[in-house]
């Protein structure tokens, strides 16, 4: 493992929960890895599975989806649908010998600032272990 | 065990006679079946003229397009006053039922006739000499309960060759006497109504036989072999580029896929018209870019969008001009996804497709 390797992480964060948790973490001065590019979505259910594939092929070393806890989605079952789609993307990755651990789904409510920080640190460390995403430098994708 | 009617006619003749009598008896408005186009091939047709039924080749061993897809376009969501009789192979029927479940067409007022299936030859072999030369070999194989070594990859690996949701099933696999006799298995009232007034001997038996079980086992083994040959589990980006590197981007695989029903595919939309700024960014980050871009995005994108409903028909591989084993890849990915939801596309009409619903308590191990 390259000690200097800083993974590029992309996060699709629901604006009602995980995105606010990220804000809260910031307000509470709880440091999470600065290499996360947060993308605010109206609901985790807005995340087309293609977004994950696209971010990965563009070279993201890790792709994160954060939504409201089951039962708490503002659109009732957006997060449950997100979970099914996420499962499909991860399965595609597994079958094709890509690394499913580069994809992560977590439920983090608006009040869980510390959980957000912990999750990000943990994800960052897990992706560091996997090393660089080889898609990043591949021209003939 | 279903009721059966056995008639003293070869299988294709028996089905032609049945179709003809359904039209002449006014029971159906027309029939949808493979029919001879010229002496070089077959195409799907919707036929009303009883004389034209002579041209029907319900079991001709080629699949010029997915009949399930074609049928879905004929029977869209508006109601039809009168029924149609339809002959499809099991995977085409599954595709059709899947499209019904995806609300692309209607199931009612159709008499669905299918058969136990020995598979089809790749479409390109239709122009490889005289296709009729292959037909006797095909039927002999069927009688012995064997598939053809030069059938489509997907057919050689197909485990769903006994139809689901057919009103009538014609037994072909392992039927030694199929030149002289034909047995219809009755699976529904509509199927029963079709056979009223037809001569023959009524009985009762199971469509599964020793022969179908033997064929299923052979195909299971072949499926494993095909997957091992592709080294699926260790492909990674490098392996995927190796496989799809020669893709010419024609989109034929998507065009013929029964499950890809979108009128405007995401990959044809304006967001893929790459602006100069996009190229500049790619050049900065990866120092080069394939043109046209986004081959893997298209392939993996299609996988995440539709593979839960892939019926493994093999149309995609069949039309790929550069012989990429598209169907082997899609059906492998599809099967893994289907397992996740305990789902078999086109099997149970009452079970919703995985993307149409979601449960509160499921897949809990996906989140961390
Ligand atoms: S995929 Fe199966 S059902 Fe379809 S044509 Fe081939 S053998 Fe028949
Ligand atoms: S992906 Fe290929 S094998 Fe699967 S349903 Fe579509 S055409 Fe058939
Ligand atoms: S049919 Fe073959 S060449 Fe054409 S887009 Fe599909 S995989 Fe690529
Ligand atoms: S509103 Fe947060 S996941 Fe749906």
Q: Does residue B366 belong to the interface with chain A, where contact is any CB pair within 8 Å?
A: yes
Average pLDDT across chain A, whole number = 95
Percentage above 90 pLDDT, chain B: 88
Distance B350 CA to ligand 3 centre (A): 33
User: What is the average per-residue pLDDT within B312-328?
Assistant: 98
Query: Taking 70 as the threshold, does the pLDDT of residue B33 lie above it?
Result: yes
DSSP characters over A23-91 = HHHHHTT----TTEEEEEES-GGG--HHHHHHHHHHT-SEEEEEEPPTT--TTSSHHHHHHHHHHHHHH
Q: Is A69 exposed, middle or buried (0-12, 13-18, 19+ CB in 10 A)?
A: middle
Per DSSP (E only), the strands in chain B are 3-7, 30-38, 41-47, 84-87, 110-115, 168-170, 182-186, 201-204
Question: For residue B224, what pLDDT is reported?
Answer: 96
Residue A2 lies in a domain: no
Query: Taking 60 as the threshold, does the pLDDT of residue B198 lie above it?
Result: yes
State the ipTM, two decimals.
Answer: 0.95
Question: For residue B142, what pLDDT is reported?
Answer: 97
Reference B17, options B187, B184, B203, B167; nearest CA is B184
Paired residues of B36 in beta bridges: B42
Question: For residue B75, what pLDDT is reported?
Answer: 86
Which residue's CA is minimally distant from atom 6 of ligand 3? B253
- Please state the separation of Cα B288 from the chain's center in Å: 39
Phi then psi for residue A79, to 5 deg, are -70, -30
> Cα separations (Å) of B183 from A68, A134, B176?
56, 56, 12
* Closest ligand to residue B160's CA: 1
User: What is the average per-residue pLDDT within B326-353?
Assistant: 97
Query: Taking 70 as the threshold, does the pLDDT of residue A136 lie above it?
Result: yes
**Reported confidence tier of residue A1, pLDDT bands at 50, 70, 90:** low
Q: What is the pLDDT of residues B219-236, one digit of tens each?
A: 999 999 999 999 999 999
The shortest C-alpha distance from A104 to chain B (Å) reads 7
Distance A82 CA to ligand 4 centre (A): 9
DSSP reduced 3-state for B25 = coil
Tokens of B353: 């497709």
Question: For residue B35, what pLDDT is reported?
Answer: 96
Are B122 and B321 in contact, with CB atoms under 8 Å apart?
Answer: no
DSSP characters over B77-90 = SS--SS-EEEE--H
Question: For residue B87, what pLDDT is reported?
Answer: 98
Out of B297, B308, B329, name the one closest to residue A54 (CB): B297
Task: Give the chain A residue whose CA is nearest to the CA of B339.
Answer: A91
How many Å apart are CA A69 and CA A18, to the nearest integer? Answer: 10
Q: Is B24 exposed, middle or buried (0-12, 13-18, 19+ CB in 10 A)?
A: exposed
Q: What is the pLDDT of residues B243-257, one digit of tens each?
A: 999 999 999 999 999
Q: What is the pLDDT of residues B105-130, one digit of tens each?
A: 999 999 999 999 999 999 999 888 88
Q: Does residue B241 belong to the interface with chain A, where contact is any CB pair within 8 Å?
A: yes
**Which residues of A fall within a CB distance of 8 Å from B354?**
84, 88
Task: Give the chain B residue whose CA is nearest to the CA of A80.
Answer: B358
Which residue's CA is minimally distant from atom 2 of ligand 3? B320
Are B60 and B123 in contact, with CB atoms under 8 Å apart?
Answer: no
Residue A41 lies in a domain: yes
Q: Which residues contact B105 (CB under 8 A, 6 or more apart)?
A: B71, B72, B73, B75, B76, B77, B96, B99
Question: For residue A2, what pLDDT is reported?
Answer: 63
Q: Which residues contact B49 (CB under 8 A, 6 or more apart)?
A: none
Per DSSP (E only), the strands in B88-214 are 110-115, 168-170, 182-186, 201-204
User: What is the average per-residue pLDDT within B137-157?
Assistant: 96
| Angle A74-A79-A82 from CA coordinates, rounded to 5° | 145
Domain range holding A18? 9-140
Query: Taking 80 as the threshold, does the pLDDT of residue B188 lie above it?
Result: yes
Query: Taking 80 as the threshold, does the pLDDT of residue A85 lie above it?
Result: yes
Question: For residue A31, what pLDDT is reported?
Answer: 86
Out of B237, B285, B294, name the one closest to residue A134 (CB): B237
Mutate to test the pocket of ligand 1, among B34, B58, B63, B90 (most ligand atoms within 8 A of CB): B90
**Reported confidence tier of residue B157, pLDDT bands at 50, 70, 90:** very high
Reference B353, options B296, B288, B305, B312; nearest CA is B305
Ramachandran bin of B119, using left for φ above 0, alpha for ψ from -120 to 50, beta for the remaining angles: left
Average pLDDT across chain B, whole number = 95
**Which residues of B fall within a CB distance of 8 Å from A104?**
368
Q: Between chains, do B366 and A83 touch, taking CB under 8 Å as contact? A: yes
Distance B250 CA to ligand 3 centre (A): 5
Question: For residue B132, what pLDDT is reported?
Answer: 86
Segment 85-104 of chain B within 8 Å of chain A by CB: none
**Which residues of B fall within a CB distance of 8 Å from A71?**
360
**Reported confidence tier of residue B131, pLDDT bands at 50, 70, 90:** confident
Question: For residue A3, what pLDDT is reported?
Answer: 67
User: What is the average per-residue pLDDT within B159-165?
Assistant: 97
**Reported confidence tier of residue A118, pLDDT bands at 50, 70, 90:** very high
Query: Taking 90 as the threshold, does the pLDDT of residue A125 lie above it?
Result: yes
Query: Taking 60 as the threshold, does the pLDDT of residue B77 lie above it?
Result: yes
Reference A105, options B341, B357, B366, B337; nearest CA is B366
Ramachandran bin of A59, using left for φ above 0, alpha for ψ from -120 to 50, beta for the remaining angles: left
Task: Give the chain B residue whose CA is nearest to the CA of A78.
Answer: B358
Query: Taking 90 as the threshold, does the pLDDT of residue B152 lie above it?
Result: yes
Phi then psi for residue B45, to 5 deg, are -145, 155
The shortest C-alpha distance from A72 to chain B (Å) reads 11
Q: Between chains, do A81 and B355 touch, taking CB under 8 Å as contact? A: yes
Q: What is the pLDDT of residues B256-278, one digit of tens each?
A: 999 999 999 999 998 888 888 88
CA dihedral sign, ordered B73, B319, B94, B303: negative
- The answer, yes or no, to whether any atom of ligand 3 lies below 6 A from the CB of B250, is yes
Phi then psi for residue B100, to 5 deg, are -60, -45
Q: Does residue B353 belong to the interface with chain A, where contact is any CB pair within 8 Å?
A: no
Domain count, chain A: 1
């Amino acid at each position: 493992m390259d000690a200097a390797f800083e993974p590029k992480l992309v996060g699709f964060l629901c604006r009602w929960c995980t995105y606010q948790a990220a804000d809260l973490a910031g307000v509470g001065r709880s440091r999470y890895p600065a290499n996360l590019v947060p993308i605010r979505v109206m609901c985790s259910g807005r995340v087309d599975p293609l977004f994950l594939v696209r971010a990965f092929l563009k070279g993201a070393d890790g792709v994160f989806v954060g939504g409201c806890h089951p039962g708490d989605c503002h659109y009732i079952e957006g997060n449950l649908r997100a979970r099914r789609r996420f499962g499909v993307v991860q399965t595609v990755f597994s079958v094709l010998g890509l690394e499913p651990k580069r994809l992560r789904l977590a439920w983090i409510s608006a009040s869980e600032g510390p959980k957000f920080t912990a999750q990000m640190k943990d994800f960052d460390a897990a992706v560091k272990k996997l090393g660089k995403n080889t898609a990043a430098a591949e021209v003939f994708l | 065990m279903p009721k059966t009617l056995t008639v003293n006619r070869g299988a294709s003749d028996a089905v032609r006679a049945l179709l003809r009598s359904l039209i002449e008896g006014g029971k159906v408005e027309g029939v949808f079946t493979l029919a001879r186009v010229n002496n070089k091939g077959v195409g799907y047709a919707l036929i009303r003229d009883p004389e034209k039924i002579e041209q029907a080749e319900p079991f001709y061993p080629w699949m010029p397009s997915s009949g399930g897809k074609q049928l879905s376009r004929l029977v869209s969501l508006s109601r039809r006053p009168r029924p149609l009789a339809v002959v499809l192979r099991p995977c085409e029927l599954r595709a059709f039922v899947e499209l019904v479940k995806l609300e692309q067409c209607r199931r009612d007022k159709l008499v669905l006739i299918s058969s136990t299936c020995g598979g089809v030859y790749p479409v390109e072999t239709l122009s490889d000499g005289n296709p009729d030369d292959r037909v006797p070999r095909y039927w002999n194989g069927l009688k012995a309960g064997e598939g053809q070594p030069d059938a489509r990859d997907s057919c050689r690996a197909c485990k769903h060759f006994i139809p689901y949701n057919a009103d009538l099933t014609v037994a072909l696999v392992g039927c030694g006497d199929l030149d002289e006799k034909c047995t219809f298995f009755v699976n529904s009232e509509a199927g029963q109504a079709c056979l009223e007034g037809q001569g023959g001997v009524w009985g009762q038996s199971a469509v599964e036989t020793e022969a179908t079980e033997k064929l299923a086992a052979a195909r299971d083994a072949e499926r494993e072999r095909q997957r091992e040959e592709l080294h699926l589990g260790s492909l990674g980006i490098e392996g995927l580029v190796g496989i799809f590197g020669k893709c010419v981007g024609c989109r034929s695989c998507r065009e013929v896929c029964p499950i890809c029903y979108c009128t405007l595919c995401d990959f044809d939309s304006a967001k893929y018209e790459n602006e100069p700024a996009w190229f500049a960014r790619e050049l900065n980050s990866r120092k080069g870019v394939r043109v046209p871009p986004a081959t893997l995005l298209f392939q993996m994108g299609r996988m995440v969008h539709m593979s839960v409903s892939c019926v493994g028909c093999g149309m995609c591989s069949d039309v790929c001009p550069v012989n990429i084993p598209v169907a082997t890849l899609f059906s492998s990915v599809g099967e893994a996804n289907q397992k996740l939801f305990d789902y078999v596309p086109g099997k149970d009409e009452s079970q919703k497709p995985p993307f149409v619903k979601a449960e509160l308590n499921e897949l809990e191990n996906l989140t961390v």
